[in-house]
């Protein structure tokens, strides 16, 4: 009992300081280097707030308004920013490992290169190619395509290709997304370029299949959309087995995985 009392007494000043800093943030929108771990800030209006170096690990900032906020060097590890608005926020130097940024608005936000590589940003807007990894961009495109969101998938594959221009699988995936939108000429170009890359990797059979499909697509407009792109993959099973887990889920229904 005495030990428990001593532990509680020792922790009390820290808890009081955290509560005081939380009130300071909400009142003044300025709390540099604040201790705000595990804070509940759901729907908080923190537009233009100064949160430099704030310790926000595991904090709940879901749906918070953080437009223009200064979050430089802040620790947001494993915090929730799901659905938050971070337009124009400064996140340079921020720790974002395990951070939930799903459905957040990051339009115009300042982010370090690859800073989102270990965060979760499915459905977020304003995510740049520089801020995330090739694999994250590609897999986000796969997920969008699986849900039939082909324009979004195409955009994500575009960003993935900025990170890794020689990724044959991503050229193929973007071509499929374009084919499903009836962008026949662009899809054929992607398939042909993917074929070249696969051929360079020694996948000659896959390259031939893709070139034939591209030619068929160009001359027969009725073959675009409605699963045509996925149909090209019947001869590419080996490729996807080698490159799993990237994109294999996208094509599983077509190739019988």
Please tell me the predicted confidence (pLDDT) of residue 220. 59
CATH 1.25.40 intervals, the chain: 134-255
Q: Which of 40, 46, 33 is nearest to 59 (CA)?
A: 40
Q: How confident is the model at residue 20 (pLDDT cuts 50, 70, 90)?
A: confident
CATH 2.160.20.80 intervals, the chain: 29-132
Strand partners, 120: 100
Q: Which fold has domain 29-132?
A: Pectate Lyase C-like (2.160.20)
Determine the Cα angle at 166 with ends 163 and 171, to 5°. Answer: 90
Evaluate whether the domain defined by 134-255 bears CATH number 1.25.40. yes
CA distances from 235 to 46, 170, 205, 226, 238 (A): 53, 17, 7, 19, 8
More confident residue, 138 or 237: 138
What's the pTM value of the predicted model, to 2 decimals?
A: 0.68
Average pLDDT over residues 61-65: 97
Distance of alpha carbon 158 from alpha carbon 156, whole angstroms: 5
Cβ proximity of 98 and 121 under 8 Å: no
163's tokens: 């990170």
């Amino acid at each position: 009992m005495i030990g428990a009392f001593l532990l509680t007494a020792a922790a009390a000043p820290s808890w009081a300081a955290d509560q005081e800093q939380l009130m300071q943030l909400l009142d003044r929108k300025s709390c540099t280097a604040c201790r705000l771990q595990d804070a509940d800030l759901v729907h908080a209006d923190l537009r233009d707030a100064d949160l430099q170096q704030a310790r926000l690990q595991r904090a709940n900032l879901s749906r918070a308004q953080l437009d223009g906020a200064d979050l430089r060097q802040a620790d947001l590890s494993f915090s929730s920013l799901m659905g938050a608005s971070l337009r124009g926020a400064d996140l340079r130097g921020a720790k974002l490992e395990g951070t939930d940024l799903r459905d957040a608005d990051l339009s115009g936000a300042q982010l370090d290169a690859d800073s989102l590589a270990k965060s979760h940003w499915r459905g977020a807007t304003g995510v740049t190619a520089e801020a995330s990894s090739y694999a994250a961009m590609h897999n986000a495109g796969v997920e969008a395509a699986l849900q039939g969101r082909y324009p979004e998938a195409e955009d994500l594959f575009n960003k993935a290709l900025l990170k890794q221009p020689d990724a044959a699988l991503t050229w193929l995936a973007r071509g499929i997304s374009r084919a499903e939108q009836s962008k026949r000429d662009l899809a054929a170009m992607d398939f042909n370029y993917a074929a070249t890359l696969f051929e360079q990797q020694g996948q000659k059979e896959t390259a031939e299949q893709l070139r034939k499909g591209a030619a068929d697509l160009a001359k027969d407009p009725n073959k675009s959309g409605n699963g045509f792109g996925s149909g090209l993959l019947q001869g590419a099973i080996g490729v996807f087995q080698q490159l799993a887990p990237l994109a294999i889920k996208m094509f599983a229904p077509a190739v019988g995985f």
